[in-house]
Amino acid sequence: MTKNLRVKSSGYIDETNRISFKFNGKTYHGFKGDTLASALLANDVHLVGRSFKYHRPRGIMTSGSEEPNAIVQINPGTNRTEPNVRATEVEIYEGLEASSQNCWPSVEFDIGGINNFLSPFFPAGFYYKTFMWPASFWEKYEFFIRHSAGLGKSPKSSDPDIYDHRNVHCDVLVIGAGISGILAAKNATKNNFKTLLVEEKNELGGSTIYENNEFNKIDNKAPSEWLKKEIEELKDIKNLEIKTRTSVAAYHQYNYLLARENLTDHLEAKDKTNKIRQRLLKIRAKKVILATGALERPLIFNNNDRPGIMLSSAIKKYSEFYGVVCGSKNVFFTNNDSAYESAMSLYNKGINVEAIIDIREQSESKIVKKVEEAGIKIYWSHSIVDTAGYKRLNSVSIMKLSNDGTSVTGSKISISCDCLGVAGGWTPAVHLYTQSGSKLKFDEEKKVFLPNQNSSNQISVGSCCGDFKIDEIIKNLNQKLKETLNIKETDLDNIKVEIDEENTKRNIWLLPSDKPLGKTKPFVDYQNDATAKDIKLALREGFRSIEHVKRYTTTGMGTDQGKLGNMHALGIIADTAGVKMSELGTTTFRPPYTPLTFGTIVGRNVGKFFDIFRRTPMNDWHIENKAEFENVGQWKRAWYYPIDGETMHQAVQRESKAARESAGILDASTLGKIDIQGSDASEFLNRVYTNAWSKLAIGKCRYGLMLNEDGMVYDDGVTTRLGENHYIMTTTTGGAANVLGKLEDYLQTEWPELDVYLTSVTDHYATASLCGPNSKKILKKIIPDLDLSDENFPHMSFKQSKIGSIQCRIMRISFTGEHSYEINVQANYGKDLWEKCMEAGKEFNITPYGTETMHLLRAEKGFIIVGQDTDGTMTPIDLQMDWIVSKKKYDFIGKRSLYRSDTMREDRKQLVGLLTEDPNVVLEEGAQIVSELNQGPVEMLGHVTSSYFSPNLNKSIALAVVRGGKDMMGKKLFIPMENKNINVTVANPVFYDEKNERLNA
């Protein structure tokens, strides 16, 4: 029963290259050059999918990226599977498999089809209206709705393909390689503009390449022949890059565009391996020429969605370009002359055209006369009122249209057919144009939205700006090219064009039926099953804004973004509400124009390239010694060093004890380091820190607290004076980049008169922090000739020295409260330094400790960590650090804010220590603190910011911020947890060695 549906194509199909592929498990054959859609049509397969809501059988409707129905799952069940792919865009290759979506158990017999018969119960907003009550049931409803919602299936294993990003710069970007795009690109390159021409299809030429109206001529040749010669000439032009299979997804401001170049999707599986599948082109163009063409509109009539009902232009393309006839008994339904060209295409190939139904009263163009002469019956002023055929169209019923187009009269005529071509005119593809921020205006005569106010250096040419006839295209293109490229002549100046004039038009957005609207199904959005009825219902229910109607009815919200039906939706709304389309406007066209894969969006930034990470020079040692790591900003920091299967708690307890009892060593290389030089360096520090710096002696260190202008603590760290005009500042690990940025900001914008130079040297030094009562002995072993006596090298001072021949900077500073040294060497000696310390410390059982132990040790001393104990709402006064705020300095960043009424409130949250009644109970960080335990709501006084079990004190300790906490010393508070309440007492936040005796131990 196989019919031969192949006819002679215009040479784009390689009939010597037969390809087999599977669709829904069945093997079919096509030829190289076929799309999945053309190959299926050649096998007489129209039914390819089911609609989203009603599960109605749907067929291939178009031949391009606007396809609403034929969306398929490619290579189902494999790790390369991709859902929601338009069959009209898939080039077939040997071994391709595809399946229908949204149907179960099969597209031929789909249980969900019951929804079609229940459709009176599924009006617009059905889900909103039905699943509102009772509110508590939503979670149950959601389970079932989620189950039936969604299209296609995502792959279950990771993507085997490689994706890429590339930056592209050009003088002129031409989007679309139809006749306008080709001529624009050719003339731009001839005038020495570096030009990029992109085309979403795999062939150049657009629709002109299969143009067949014998009454249209360019230089006395058929336009298709003429254009083929032009394309041939493009190949020799330098300065022109052509990218096919490349779809522009987004057009942003300043002529920044994103395009997806498809490199391997059309190749057999064996040829896909180790190649880049898709590449995202990030294009910056000086000028953009939009030649995106136009999309044919369907007509909106009762049951306009059956398999076999297609766009008239698609039928022509399948016949002329792919050599495939879509039906054996064809009927066309039109409001313009283009359907007559499609009809002649079939007629000339010996295919039966039963009739043309035209809503116009007449047309006098030559092509129409030709059709009449061919003996094809034309029904003028008629409309289709219904269609029949469940899985394939088998007939249409037509009636005479009234003069005003709102009703039908006379008797019904039924015409048997298996394919219907609909031609509702053309919609310029202005999606990218509006994405760029440019504005449209409605042309009442052509019934289209046209480019009006350009937002950037761009022009629209050809049918995307409403020029549908070759003579207007060439004339307007020529003029625009001269203006935008600033050139005097082009090779379009002497082209002679003859065209077949079309002079009658009639546009009816919603065609009437003999049945009332409520009993009909005129689909406006095929993919989402939105009908004209739903749109009118939305208007009756009070929706007025086009954006609201869209969301309520879901018109234009499918994967096709309503490329076919949006104009009709607008037209129906305008007619029903009695407003002009120009006043109604359009919905917003958002990127991407066609869907992008996640792979293309992320490119190479996957796996370990997902985010940058930074490692210290000692990193290898930490790995060799089995450290666990934690992320601090982008840094990977050693967290703790478990031995023999220790838990984190056990490791941290051991490390903490060792650091206080003998010696510990910490990799502190991640601390931010900023080199500050210049004759005003001291003055600068005076202004950015809360304390005074002018009198700091050379070779001395000082702790500083940096505020924001709002008085809140921003960062802290120790700064060392290396020379008269030379300091080295340390910042927190996470704050380093922001602190530098903030200091540069003040220097450049507020205090440009200061002679100060800042250099980030974080990565230039490796830092080992040696701490504990034996740290001095260890350092002595490493640098025997350095005098480490308290007189020569006291706490908070600095020495420049050498370890062997390696220069080092040593600061005697402490974040643990123990006697300790921070040793800085050039970064590439970091691991050597660390190993030397470990070797020298062996006899003292030197213990490497990580960030967790560092946090515990400093908490025992009540030292804050900016960002843990502070959160951008804590002043130094709140932290009980009044001692660090200079009263004498006239000004520093944030000073004035410390005297605002709000920052001076007594009942602000203040940092305190907390001790639990049961010393073994460790509080949870973030736990809430209250003063009473009533049943009802109680005021939250604050929260726990740091909490540990201290092995050195053998009890639980915590830091917390508590409202008015300063005056609560000794007061009992409560921490309500899920299963219990914990009793705590407010304490001094310095838990250990309050007199700082250990610093000099």
Residues that bind another protein (CB under 8 A): 252-256, 284, 437, 455, 709-710, 741, 744-745, 748-750, 752, 890-891, 895-897, 899-901
Comparing CB distances to another protein, the nearer of 143 and 899 is 899
Q: In the 8-state DSSP scheme, what is residue 45?
A: -
Distance in angstroms (rounded) separating the CA atoms of residues 67 and 43: 19
Comparing CB distances to another protein, the nearer of 455 and 597 is 455
- What's the closest the beta carbon of residue 761 comes to another protein, in angstroms? 15
Q: In one letter, which amino acid is 624?
A: E
Write out the two tokens for 39.
Answer: 């190959």
- What's the closest the beta carbon of residue 960 comes to another protein, in angstroms? 28
- What's the closest the beta carbon of residue 585 comes to another protein, in angstroms? 17
Comparing CB distances to another protein, the nearer of 201 and 895 is 895
Contact predicate 98/70, CB 8 Å: no
- What's the closest the beta carbon of residue 439 comes to another protein, in angstroms? 10
Q: In the 8-state DSSP scheme, what is residue 80?
A: T
Closest CA to 485 of 286, 242, 243: 286
Distance in angstroms (rounded) separating the CA atoms of residues 200 and 214: 28
Distance in angstroms (rounded) separating the CA atoms of residues 683 and 694: 7
- What's the closest the beta carbon of residue 283 comes to another protein, in angstroms? 11
Distance in angstroms (rounded) separating the CA atoms of residues 168 and 170: 7
Tell me whether residue 229 is exposed, middle or buried, using C-beta atoms within 10 angstroms of its C-beta: 0 to 12, 13 to 18, 19 or more: exposed
- What's the closest the beta carbon of residue 167 comes to another protein, in angstroms? 9
Q: In the 8-state DSSP scheme, what is residue 717?
A: E
Comparing CB distances to another protein, the nearer of 888 and 995 is 888
Comparing CB distances to another protein, the nearer of 842 and 896 is 896
Element holding 716 (H helix, E strand): strand 713-723
Contact predicate 331/357, CB 8 Å: yes
Closest CA to 758 of 662, 695, 673, 870: 673
Comparing CB distances to another protein, the nearer of 136 and 749 is 749
Sign of CA dihedral 916, 921, 926, 927: negative
Q: What angle do CA 734, 736, 742 make, to 5 degrees?
A: 120
Distance in angstroms (rounded) separating the CA atoms of residues 894 and 892: 6
**CA dist list (Å): 395 to 419, 420, 559:** 9, 9, 30
Comparing CB distances to another protein, the nearer of 552 and 892 is 892
Max Cα distance, the chain (Å): 116
Closest CA to 751 of 760, 742, 759, 762: 742
- What's the closest the beta carbon of residue 707 comes to another protein, in angstroms? 12
Closest CA to 622 of 635, 641, 608: 641
Contact predicate 354/417, CB 8 Å: yes
- What's the closest the beta carbon of residue 749 comes to another protein, in angstroms? 5
- What's the closest the beta carbon of residue 748 comes to another protein, in angstroms? 5
- What's the closest the beta carbon of residue 1001 comes to another protein, in angstroms? 43
- What's the closest the beta carbon of residue 284 comes to another protein, in angstroms? 7
**CA dist list (Å): 908 to 105, 501, 533, 894, 903:** 65, 82, 61, 17, 8
Q: In the 8-state DSSP scheme, what is residue 888?
A: S
Cis peptide before 794 (omega within 30 of 0): no
Closest CA to 250 of 593, 701, 564: 593
Residue spans of beta strands (DSSP E) within 101-219? 162-175, 195-198, 217-218
Interacting residues of 784 by C-beta distance below 8 A, sequence separation 6+: none
Comparing CB distances to another protein, the nearer of 203 and 744 is 744
- What's the closest the beta carbon of residue 256 comes to another protein, in angstroms? 4
- What's the closest the beta carbon of residue 902 comes to another protein, in angstroms? 9
- What's the closest the beta carbon of residue 252 comes to another protein, in angstroms? 5
Tokens 């973004």 appear where?
561
Comparing CB distances to another protein, the nearer of 473 and 743 is 743
Contact predicate 446/466, CB 8 Å: yes
Contact predicate 817/996, CB 8 Å: yes
Comparing CB distances to another protein, the nearer of 752 and 937 is 752
- What's the closest the beta carbon of residue 753 comes to another protein, in angstroms? 11
Distance in angstroms (rounded) separating the CA atoms of residues 62 and 120: 28
Comparing CB distances to another protein, the nearer of 27 and 901 is 901
Comparing CB distances to another protein, the nearer of 304 and 762 is 762
Write out the two tokens for 185.
Answer: 């690109």
Rg for the chain, CA atoms, rounded: 38
- What's the closest the beta carbon of residue 593 comes to another protein, in angstroms? 17
Contact predicate 692/762, CB 8 Å: no
Q: In a 3-state reduction of DSSP, which class is residue 442?
A: strand
- What's the closest the beta carbon of residue 737 comes to another protein, in angstroms? 9
Comparing CB distances to another protein, the nearer of 158 and 453 is 453
Comparing CB distances to another protein, the nearer of 457 and 792 is 457
Pairing of strands 757-760, 672-677: antiparallel
- What's the closest the beta carbon of residue 897 comes to another protein, in angstroms? 7
Closest CA to 988 of 817, 877, 862: 862
Comparing CB distances to another protein, the nearer of 806 and 877 is 877
Tokens 């599960």 appear where?
55
Comparing CB distances to another protein, the nearer of 752 and 926 is 752
Comparing CB distances to another protein, the nearer of 439 and 802 is 439
Q: How distant is the alpha carbon of residue 446 from its chain centre? A: 36
Q: What does residue 262 show for φ and ψ, rounded to 5 degrees?
A: -95, 115
Comparing CB distances to another protein, the nearer of 427 and 762 is 762
